[in-house]
């Protein structure tokens, strides 16, 4: 039976992992994802899962062990944040290029330095080229749902790529929200059996994994990898539709919130979307045509679908919770690229907010919509790029 | 044994850069590396298999044979010149050679 | 103890056609992996000579399942493989027994790979880690490692006018591994295949983590002739530079006592990497390496006595 629970984001993730019951989890603790592995360790100790838990000595070893375990031929999961992911950065590329369907929960946290344990997206954005699928989650329900879908997506024979499910550190990971926890059996049925592809442990058919490519083969291997990740857009929607049938919650590649006739739109990722929805509702009451496009699938990036969704907008504010130093924000760059081919392009500009967990308040969001209204009236964007909420600016 | 000279297109590649054909290096010719080649004098060979143990290229091909007593043993059949790189380990380590009286295996100049 | 004839009956783990240098002795031990045991094995390798030269796409010299991921994490990678094996066996999804072997050069083992090796050994995974110690980061062109002997000239510790090669004593990694309370730790050399095969078999068949450190000379790195690797390893053992010994659950056994230990200088000057030390002004370096060898040899005997 599904039930409503009051649980933290990390708790929800741990529950999903318990239901998925992966064959191996190899993980190393780092704030704010630590509790995921702690909760899961208790499940192991209590015999609630049959997972082999490998408490490795670093995140680099965590991802290495995950790759080894997946290559051996089974379902593998892990969790990390921030510098932990940065430490395993080299191995993210290996996991993706070796096409191992590892599922990782990434509790978004700022990268050092200065060292900061709070939410921003510099960790996952920093790894956006690694070849992993990236799914972002507004709240603990979405995080749980995304994680339940993740093994199906990762293991799909048209994809066979690792998937990271992202949620904001502390804001979602540690905050208690109510959500629907689905029935163990129903989740197990949805996840299904793991199908190995050329497993190492099949000694009768020895396979060589991790070969060296010279100049004559590398680009062909990468072309093949690219083909696989591009198929993910279709597969993510297919799995999401199946999820909707099983559990009643609909997910697309992104969420279009009151977008159909919106003139002024905010594009955002993760928890801030919740606040934006509140402000959108309040402004809509006053007759303002505003809306939100909330990103869910960031890699592969659904350019065509987002272009379609924003084609009617007049002005788009892209919120980035990470800084790509020396350039515009990572999300902004993608959105502007998506909009470039429109015969009638909306104005689009970038605001960087919330680095290192700096709160985004309702006032701040109202101010953003006020500013975009100003820009819309003046028919010009004064500042294509700016920070929000910085003392001294 | 021929080398895989025809390069595969991206659609033909196994997933993830995997090599599914275990031991496929046997198709790759390293014999062209040689400047000296081993010459085996079968009549002096005691089939101790020291050369076989040390050969980095696994180039000593074995066959089923018999000891003088009649007991079965593995024996040297020939040297696989497709892979032999001419390092000379077999010549230096051969116990018959080391005794100093006979030469069971020696290096000769490779004609190019 | 596996005999040569017994080993000859089985197919080697490493096929010919790999691109290791002519005369490289690393394949001597790699071939043997399937010849010393009846268990099926899965092998993993750290980035390095053996890994790179055996797996140039689309050619693979490995006749067993084999995985390489990166340089510093061979032990961590195999921890994952072995954990999946245990998980699937526990769940009844896999039959039969498989053993796990990891290979790494001294680069991937003493230095960049030390953390993941230590972690894997401490966690108790059932695997054998084999280090083939050639005394430098050979695959990238002979840079010094924590295993490079005192006085050796490498590209990052060259013998020059002011500084005569590496000025630091090499690490005693085998002893560091003994400190992990392993069931089986050993040092072997590629010149003695029977001793090597025996130790490899014991390491593979031990239940729990095992470590085997193999002296593996390098033709271009030591600057020796292509047919000299085995002789150089033999000579190294005769000088006591590389003792052959085992430590089983803390008990030391020295496997070979040279009747007349050779001066380490004799061995050094057969190699190009030490030739700069022939200059009498660098006498101290030769004496220092001899002192280190003598000290270690004495210490090893005391350990053997203490733990017998």
Is C18's Cβ below 8 Å from some Cβ in A?
A: no
Q: Which of A195, A208, A218, A231 to mutate to test the interface with B (most CBs of B within 10 A)?
A: A208
Instruction: Spell out which residues of chain C touch residue B24, defining contact as CB-CB under 8 Å.
Output: 58-60
* CATH number of the domain encompassing residue B18: 3.30.70.20
Band of the pLDDT at B1, cuts 50, 70, 90?
very low
Provide the mean pLDDT of chain C. Answer: 98
Domains belonging to chain C, first-starting first, are 4-307 (3.40.50.970)
B9, closest residue in chain A (CA to CA): A220
Torsion of CA B53, B57, B61, B65, to 10 degrees: 0
Instruction: Spell out which residues of chain A touch residue C56, defining contact as CB-CB under 8 Å.
Output: 211-212, 214
| A196: pLDDT strictly greater than 90 | yes
A204, closest residue in chain B (CA to CA): B22
| B110: pLDDT strictly greater than 90 | no
3-state class percentages of chain A: helix first, strand second, coil last, to nearest 5: 40, 20, 40
Q: Is residue B68 part of a domain?
A: yes
Asked if B7 lies within 8 A of A217 by C-beta distance, the reply is yes
Span A254-387: which CATH code?
A: 3.40.50.920
Asked if C17 lies within 8 A of B85 by C-beta distance, the reply is no
Residue range of the domain that includes B14: 10-109
3-state class percentages of chain B: helix first, strand second, coil last, to nearest 5: 30, 25, 50
> Chain C residues with CB-CB distance to B under 8 A?
4-5, 7-9, 12, 14-20, 22-28, 31, 54-55, 57-64, 193, 225-231
- pLDDT mean over A258-275: 98
Quote ipTM for the complex. Answer: 0.97
Min distance B22 CA to chain A CA atoms (Å) = 6
Q: Is C268 helix (H, G, I), strand (E, B) or coil?
A: helix
B20, closest residue in chain A (CA to CA): A207
pLDDT for A312-346, tens place per residue?
999 999 999 999 999 999 999 999 999 999 999 99
| A282: pLDDT strictly greater than 60 | yes
B73, closest residue in chain C (CA to CA): C5
- pLDDT mean over A62-73: 98
Domain count of the fold of chain B:
1
Sheet with A254-257, strands from edge to edge, namely A254-257, A290-295, A264-269, A315-320, A347-352, A385-387
Min distance B28 CA to chain C CA atoms (Å) = 5
pLDDT at C219: 98
Under 8 Å between Cβ of C49 and C26: yes
The CATH 3.40.50.920 portion of chain A extends over 254-387
- Fold annotation for A3-247: Rossmann fold (3.40.50)
| A230: pLDDT strictly greater than 80 | yes
Closest CB to C65 among A67, A206, A211: A206
Q: Is residue B18 part of a domain?
A: yes
* CA-angle at C267, arms to C23 and C187, nearest 5°: 70
3-class SS string, C61-91? CECCCEECCCCCCHHHHHHHHHHHHHHHHHC
pLDDT for A93-136, tens place per residue?
999 999 999 999 999 999 999 999 999 999 999 999 999 999 99
The CATH 3.40.50.970 portion of chain A extends over 3-247
Provide the mean pLDDT of chain A. Answer: 98
Is C52's Cβ below 8 Å from some Cβ in A?
A: yes
Instruction: Spell out which residues of chain C touch residue B53, defining contact as CB-CB under 8 Å.
Output: 4, 7, 28, 193
Q: Is residue B37 part of a domain?
A: yes
pLDDT at A12: 98
Instruction: Spell out which residues of chain A touch residue C43, defining contact as CB-CB under 8 Å.
Output: none
Is B13's Cβ below 8 Å from some Cβ in A?
A: yes
Q: Among residues of chain A, what percentage have pLDDT more than 70?
A: 100
- The helix-helix angle for A232-247 and A184-191 (nearest 10°) equals 150
Q: Which of C45, C58, C193, C232 to mutate to test the interface with B (most CBs of B within 10 A)?
A: C58
Band of the pLDDT at A1, cuts 50, 70, 90?
confident
Asked if A98 lies within 8 A of B17 by C-beta distance, the reply is yes
Is A201's Cβ below 8 Å from some Cβ in C?
A: yes
pLDDT at B30: 97
Min distance A299 CA to chain B CA atoms (Å) = 19
pLDDT for B36-68, tens place per residue?
999 999 999 999 999 999 999 999 999 999 998
Tokens (6 digits) for A36: 């995921």
A382 burial (CB, 10 Å; 0-12 / 13-18 / 19+) is exposed
- Under-50 pLDDT residues of chain C: none
Asked if C57 lies within 8 A of A203 by C-beta distance, the reply is no
pLDDT for A7-42, tens place per residue?
999 999 999 999 999 999 999 999 999 999 999 999
CB-based contacts of A361, cutoff 8 Å, min separation 6: A275
Band of the pLDDT at A364, cuts 50, 70, 90?
very high
pLDDT at C158: 98
Beta-sheet pairing, C251-254 with C245-248: antiparallel
- Read off φ and ψ for residue C284, nearest 5 degrees: -60, -35
pLDDT at B2: 46
Closest CB to A24 among C57, C83, C119: C83
Total CB pairs under 8 A between chain A and C: 163
pLDDT at A388: 96
Q: Is residue B39 part of a domain?
A: yes
pLDDT at B112: 67
pLDDT at A303: 98
Instruction: Spell out which residues of chain B touch residue A210, defining contact as CB-CB under 8 Å.
Output: 17
CB-based contacts of A374, cutoff 8 Å, min separation 6: none
B6, closest residue in chain A (CA to CA): A216
pTM: 0.97
Closest residue by Cα to residue C218 from C123, C140, C121 = C140
Rounded to whole angstroms, the Cα distance separating C23 from C217 reads: 10
């Amino acid at each position: 039976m599904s039930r409503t629970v009051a649980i933290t984001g990390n708790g929800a993730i741990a529950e999903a992992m318990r239901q998925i019951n992966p064959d191996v989890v190899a993980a190393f603790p780092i704030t704010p994802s630590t509790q995921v592995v702690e909760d899961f360790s208790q499940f192991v100790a209590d015999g609630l899962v049959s997972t082999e838990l490998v408490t490795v000595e670093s995140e680099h070893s965590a991802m290495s062990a995950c790759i080894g375990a997946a290559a051996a031929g089974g379902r593998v999961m892990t969790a990390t944040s921030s510098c932990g992911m940065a430490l395993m950065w080299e191995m993210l590329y290996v996991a993706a290029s070796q096409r191992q369907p590892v599922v990782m929960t990434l509790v978004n946290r700022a990268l050092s330095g200065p060292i900061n344990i709070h939410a921003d997206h510099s960790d996952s954005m920093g790894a956006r080229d690694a070849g992993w699928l990236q799914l972002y989650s507004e709240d603990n329900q979405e995080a749980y749902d995304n994680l339940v879908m993740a093994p199906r997506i990762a293991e799909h024979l048209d994809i066979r790529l690792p998937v990271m499910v992202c949620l904001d550190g502390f804001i979602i990971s540690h905050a208690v929200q109510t959500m629907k926890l689905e029935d163990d059996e129903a989740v197990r049925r949805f996840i299904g059996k793991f199908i190995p592809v050329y497993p190492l442990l099949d000694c009768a058919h020895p396979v060589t994994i991790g070969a060296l490519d010279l100049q004559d083969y590398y680009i062909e291997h990468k072309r093949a990898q690219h083909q696989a990740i591009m198929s993910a857009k279709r597969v993510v929607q297919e799995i999401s539709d199946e999820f909707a049938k099983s559990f009643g919650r609909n997910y697309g590649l992104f969420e279009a919130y009151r977008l159909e006739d919106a003139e002024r739109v905010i594009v955002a990722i993760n928890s801030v979307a919740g606040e934006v929805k509140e402000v959108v509702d309040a402004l809509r009451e006053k007759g303002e045509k505003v809306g939100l496009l909330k990103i869910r699938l960031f890699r592969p990036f659904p350019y065509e679908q987002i272009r379609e969704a924003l084609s009617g907008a007049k002005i788009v504010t892209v919120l980035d919770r990470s800084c790509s130093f020396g350039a515009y924000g990572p999300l902004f760059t993608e959105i502007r690229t998506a909009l470039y081919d429109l015969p009638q392009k909306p104005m689009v500009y970038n605001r960087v907010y919330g680095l290192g967990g700096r709160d985004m308040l309702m006032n701040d969001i109202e101010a953003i919509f006020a500013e975009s209204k100003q820009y819309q009236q003046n028919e010009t964007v004064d500042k294509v790029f700016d920070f929000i909420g910085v003392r001294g600016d | 044994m021929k080398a895989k000279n025809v390069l595969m297109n991206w659609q033909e590649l196994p997933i993830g850069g995997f090599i599914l054909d275990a031991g496929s290096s046997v198709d790759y010719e390293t014999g062209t590396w040689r400047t000296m080649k081993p010459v085996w004098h079968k009549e002096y060979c005691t089939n101790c298999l020291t050369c076989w143990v040390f050969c980095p290229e696994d180039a000593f091909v074995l066959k089923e044979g018999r000891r003088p007593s009649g007991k079965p043993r593995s024996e040297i059949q020939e040297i696989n010149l497709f892979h032999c790189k001419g390092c000379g380990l077999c010549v230096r380590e051969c116990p018959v050679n080391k005794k100093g009286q006979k030469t069971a295996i020696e290096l000769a100049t490779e004609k190019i | 103890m596996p005999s040569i004839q017994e080993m000859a009956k089985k197919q080697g783990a490493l096929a010919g056609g790999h691109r290791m240098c002519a005369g490289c002795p690393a394949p001597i031990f790699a071939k043997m992996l399937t010849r010393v045991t009846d268990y099926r094995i899965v092998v993993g390798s750290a980035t390095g000579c053996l890994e790179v030269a055996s797996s140039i796409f689309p050619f693979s010299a490995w006749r067993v399942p084999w995985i390489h991921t990166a340089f510093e994490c061979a032990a961590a990678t195999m921890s994952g493989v072995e954990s999946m094996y245990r998980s699937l066996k526990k769940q009844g999804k896999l039959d039969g027994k498989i053993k796990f072997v990891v290979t790494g050069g001294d680069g991937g083992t003493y230095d960049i790979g030390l953390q993941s090796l230590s972690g894997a050994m401490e966690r108790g995974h059932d695997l054998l880690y084999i280090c083939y110690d050639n005394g430098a980061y050979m695959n990238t062109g002979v840079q010094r490692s924590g295993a490079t002997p005192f006085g050796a000239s490498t590209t990052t510790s060259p013998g020059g006018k002011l500084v005569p090669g590496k000025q630091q004593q090499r690490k005693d990694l085998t002893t560091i591994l003994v400190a992990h309370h392993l069931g089986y730790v050993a040092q072997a050399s590629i010149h003695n295949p029977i001793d090597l095969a025996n130790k490899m078999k014991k390491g593979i068949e031990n239940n729990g983590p095992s470590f085997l450190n193999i002296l593996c000379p390098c033709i271009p790195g030591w600057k020796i002739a292509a047919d000299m690797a085995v002789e150089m390893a033999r000579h190294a053992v005769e000088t006591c530079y590389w003792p052959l010994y085992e430590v089983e659950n803390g008990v030391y056994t020295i496997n070979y006592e040279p009747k007349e230990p050779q001066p380490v200088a004799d061995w050094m000057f057969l190699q190009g990497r030490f030739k700069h030390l022939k200059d009498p002004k660098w006498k101290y370096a030769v004496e220092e390496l001899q002192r280190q060898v003598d000290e270690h040899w004495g210490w090893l005997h005391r350990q053997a006595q203490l733990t017998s």
